[in-house]
Amino acid sequence: MQRWLIVGSGDIARRMASLVRGPVQLFALCRDRDCAARWRELGAIPLTGNLDHPATLRRLSGLAEVVFHFAPPPTHTPDDPRTGNLIAALERGGSLPQHLIYISTTGVYGDCQGALIDETRPVCPVTPRARRRTDAERRLRAFGARSGCLVSIVRAPGIYAEDRLPLKRLQQGGPIPASAEDPWTNHIHALDLARAALQAARRGRPNRIYNAVDDNRLRLGDYYERLAHHFGLPMPERLPMTTLQQRISEIHWSFMTESRQIANTRIKSELHLSWYYPTIDDLLRTIPARNIGDLKLE
């Protein structure tokens, strides 16, 4: 039986765990009892540990053949020491994992001014969040090169699902860019991202990057307007970027100042994936129109 370790116990990890079939023993790194209880319900063995405290990670050495690293970097550092701590724990004696899969962000590409790009595009992170992810990728690829562990990096854009739609922002009247300045945006359904991580464990190539984006070619404002129309919410106000910057949070502003269209050819051809939700419309067709009663508002 193969042993798999999941580091980072959020929504994508839980979705992926529910898809696992065959002779696999799952382990999950957990920070507290509530997290451990949730993973026991999913059939995994919880291990208490914290990526911010290296001494708690000793049990990870030699534990698993496959490691899924879904934990985000800390928000208060310029780099990602959590990934460094994980690598150090994996290298501390014992056998090394054969394969490590990391979910990163397409934000590492920075602003591409609307260009159509693929995985050969050099990274150019602008935001602190993207710089931390770039640092994590660098650490992991160096680990793969020196250890022989097969490292696959899955870069994800904005994630959506039935319970991960920006409906609260629409209800509150959050503005969007004017049509002439509307940036290109990219998305992936949470279930398809979980499937991409799982398939990377099966078919991923050494030190390979995969863009996990759906088939949409959509501008940011059009995405919000499509949701507003479907759920019967007020259409968001469109504003020039100079005005918009004064009206929204720093994190929303960072998403609106980067424009790129991302190709997904490699992940389909090499990992043999076809999306359950190729576009946001495929998800909306499964949700009753103008009904937000049971949906989580983000």
Please tell me the predicted confidence (pLDDT) of residue 89.
97
CATH number for 265: 3.40.50.720
DSSP at 183: P
- Of all helices (H) and strands (E), which one includes residue 185? strand 184-185
Q: How far is CA 160 from CA 38, 73, 143, 232, 294, in A?
A: 22, 21, 31, 19, 16
Residue 233 resides in a domain: no
Please tell me the predicted confidence (pLDDT) of residue 248.
87
Please state the domain count of the chain: 1
- Rounded distance between C-alpha atoms, residue 46 and residue 39, angstroms: 6
Domain that holds residue 75: 2-161+187-216+261-278
> What distance separates the 2 farthest-apart alpha carbons in the chain?
58
- Three-state DSSP state, 172: coil
Residue 122 resides in a domain: yes
Q: What are phi and psi of 110, to 5 degrees?
A: 70, -160
For the chain, residues with pLDDT lower than 70 are 290-298
Specify whether the CB–CB gap between 248 and 174 falls below 8 A.
Answer: yes
Please tell me the predicted confidence (pLDDT) of residue 94.
77
Beta strand 218-219 with 184-185: parallel, antiparallel or unpaired?
Answer: antiparallel
Calculate the CA 103 to chain-centre distance: 5
Rg (CA), the chain: 20
Please tell me the predicted confidence (pLDDT) of residue 255.
82
Residue 242 resides in a domain: no
Residue 69 resides in a domain: yes
Residue 234 resides in a domain: no
Please tell me the predicted confidence (pLDDT) of residue 291.
62
Q: How is residue 43 written in tokens?
A: 């059939």
Please tell me the predicted confidence (pLDDT) of residue 289.
74
Specify whether the CB–CB gap between 119 and 209 falls below 8 A.
Answer: yes
Task: Please state the pTM of the whole predicted model.
Answer: 0.95
- Of all helices (H) and strands (E), which one includes residue 51? none
Cα angle 25, 29, 35 (rounded to 5 degrees) comes to: 105
| Nearest to 283, CA basis, from 189, 208, 203, 217 | 189
Residue 43 resides in a domain: yes
